[in-house]
Structure 1
Amino acid sequence: MKKNNAFGRIGGKLVVYAYALFLLAPIYFITATSLKGEGEVTKNPLGLPASPMFGNFAEAFTRGNIAKYSLNSVVITGTAVALSLLNAIVVSYCLHRIAHRKIGMLIYALIMSSMLIPGVGFVTLLHLYQDLHLYNNLLGPILMGATASLPFNVFILVGFLRTLPKEINEAAAIDGCNDRQLLFYILLPLVKSAIATLGIFAFVSNWNSLLGPLILLKNKELFTIPLGLLDFRGTYTVEYNYMFAAILITSLPLVLVYLRFQKYFVEALSGSVKG
């Protein structure tokens, strides 16, 4: 029996280590490639760079126009995340307050709508954006990013709000709180971990979004980072060392956002609700 337990523990550790290596392999490959010269990328694609070329990062930043594209990405991502969370909060509160047995069906219909195959409605959406004069300006990707994650955000927030005791609403009503005060001063602080987690997901999704900006933006001055990375792709070759260097540079905001809100992220995953 003890031998079986020992083998089980060893097997479990091996699985964890193998999974960790699987996750770290792309990071190693991107980092190693970003430090190589153009010829070394093809001659030694998987090995360590013979002579690390840290100048690739400065070259990628300049040639890739990272500063301009980063500013566009910050504007689009920041505004889209704010609008998405605000809309999700208001809609979730309304659904939470409606005491009807069929409200659950509406919530599941919302989450099912977010599972549609990406790109199914892009042709219709493109014509709509052109009619509304939202084509080839930053407002188009902002609205697309703000609405894309709305069903999922509503589904999660309603679930968190339903875990709160009903006595909170009753006590607030007795104290004379209106809906705005109840939502923003009492309920939201109790589900801030869920809101922060949804904000992280929305930030990552909008920061890495390629298909939406690719369809809606034609002016290169409005390009976002994912579109800008395509500049390193030539007709017959791809400058992988500069492209991967640019990827590492533009991934820093994602890491910083996660580090800033990781406490709330862990709380949301553990299902805890704290005041």
Structure 2
Amino acid sequence: MRKRRVQANWGSISVYIYALFLIAPLYFVVVTSLKGVGEISVNPLGLPAVPVFNNFVEAFIRGNIAQYSLNSIIVTGSAVFLSLLNTVIVSFCLYKLTNRLIGTVLYAVIISSMLIPGVGLVTLIQLYQKLDIYNTLLGPILMGATASLPFNVFILLGFLKTLPKEINEAATIDGCNDRQHLLHILLPLVKPALASLGIFAFVSNWNSLLGPLILLKNKELYTIPIGLLEFRGSYSVEYNYMFAAILMTSVPIIIIYLKFQKFFVEALAGSVKG
């Protein structure tokens, strides 16, 4: 009994330490966003003497947050929709081929692609230039829609495999074709997995820097991560404005995560069982 208590205490201490590592950067961002330029260098870790809430107004105006947010919404929303659509189609095809050799081979090829490092950016730029979608929002959309396909298929297919086989048999007896089977039977049952994948896709595309950075040239097309670089000068960085902009642009992610966090556990548990 005493040994279990010691283990429980060490477990609690580990959790608190881990939480501290997560909270410390957030604290630094919040307090810095409320300080003046001079106070940041004098008192970098302490609370602001007088909170400067005007930093948020200045960051919103000077950082062109409205335009960059609109671009991010377009890119992220379109990429999430296409990502989920691709995932559903590929996962359903593999699900129908579960007991066949071709299905096993295709699944192995798709999953093994997660081990391939992200290279070939020059080739990607040349391809997008030939397709006449370079320096357009369509470029980051397509890049974001296909980047996480192997991971998404791993999660959704694992969730599909946990469904009782009697569901498929009942659908066959009722005369459902593949489209009806997918839309009216399977998709309603895998909503937790789709919601989780949607959140993952939203966060990764909303925070994506590399794709928009190499595919966009016009300032009017910049997304939020690139726009945050506007606060970085040649010799200094306006951390108070940058961190204020980071807090403002993080609000959508926080709201969506808090609303749908319960789906994470269900989806990951389903993928492990599958």
Contact 2:59 2:242 survives alignment (8 Å): yes
Report the Cα offset of residue 13 of structure 1. Answer: 1.3
**What is the TM-score normalised by the length of structure 1?**
0.94
Q: How does 1:32-71 map to 2 (within 5 A)?
A: 32-71=31-70
Corresponding residue for residue 170 of structure 1? 169
Residues in 2 aligned to 1:61 and 1:225: alpha-carbon distance in whole angstroms: 11
Residues in 2 aligned to 1:169 and 1:93: alpha-carbon distance in whole angstroms: 12
One-letter amino acid matched to 1:111: I
Q: How many residues of Structure 1 are paired with residues of Structure 2 in the alignment?
A: 270
Report the Cα offset of residue 3 of structure 1. Answer: 3.4
Corresponding residue for residue 108 of structure 2? 108
Residues in 1 aligned to 2:145 and 2:216: alpha-carbon distance in whole angstroms: 17
Report the Cα offset of residue 112 of structure 1. Answer: 2.4
Contact 1:108 1:155 survives alignment (8 Å): no
Deviations 1:158-197 (A, max 9, x none): 1111111222111101101111110011001111100100
- SS of 1:136's partner is coil
Deviations 1:8-60 (A, max 9, x none): 22211111111110111111111011111111112221111111111111111
Contact 1:114 1:148 survives alignment (8 Å): no
Corresponding residue for residue 217 of structure 1? 216
Residues in 2 aligned to 1:154 and 1:6: alpha-carbon distance in whole angstroms: 41
Report the Cα offset of residue 144 of structure 1. Answer: 0.4
Corresponding residue for residue 247 of structure 2? 248
Corresponding residue for residue 14 of structure 1? 13
Could you tell me which runs of 5 or more consecutive residues in structure 2 were left unpaired when the two chains were aligned. Answer: none
Residues in 2 aligned to 1:11 and 1:146: alpha-carbon distance in whole angstroms: 42
Contact 1:193 1:265 survives alignment (8 Å): yes
Q: How does 1:1-275 map to 2 (within 5 A)?
A: 2-98=1-97, 99-101=99-101, 103-118=103-118, 120-271=119-270
One-letter amino acid matched to 1:217: L
Contact 2:159 2:267 survives alignment (8 Å): no
One-letter amino acid matched to 1:184: L
Report the Cα offset of residue 270 of structure 1. Answer: 4.1
Report the Cα offset of residue 259 of structure 1. Answer: 2.2
Report the Cα offset of residue 102 of structure 1. Answer: 5.0
Report the Cα offset of residue 145 of structure 1. Answer: 0.5
Range moving further from structure 2, 105-114 or 138-147:
105-114
Residues in 2 aligned to 1:108 and 1:41: alpha-carbon distance in whole angstroms: 52
Residues in 2 aligned to 1:263 and 1:13: alpha-carbon distance in whole angstroms: 22
Report the Cα offset of residue 271 of structure 1. Answer: 3.4
One-letter amino acid matched to 1:266: V
Deviations 1:55-108 (A, max 9, x none): 111111111000000000000000000001011101100011013135334323
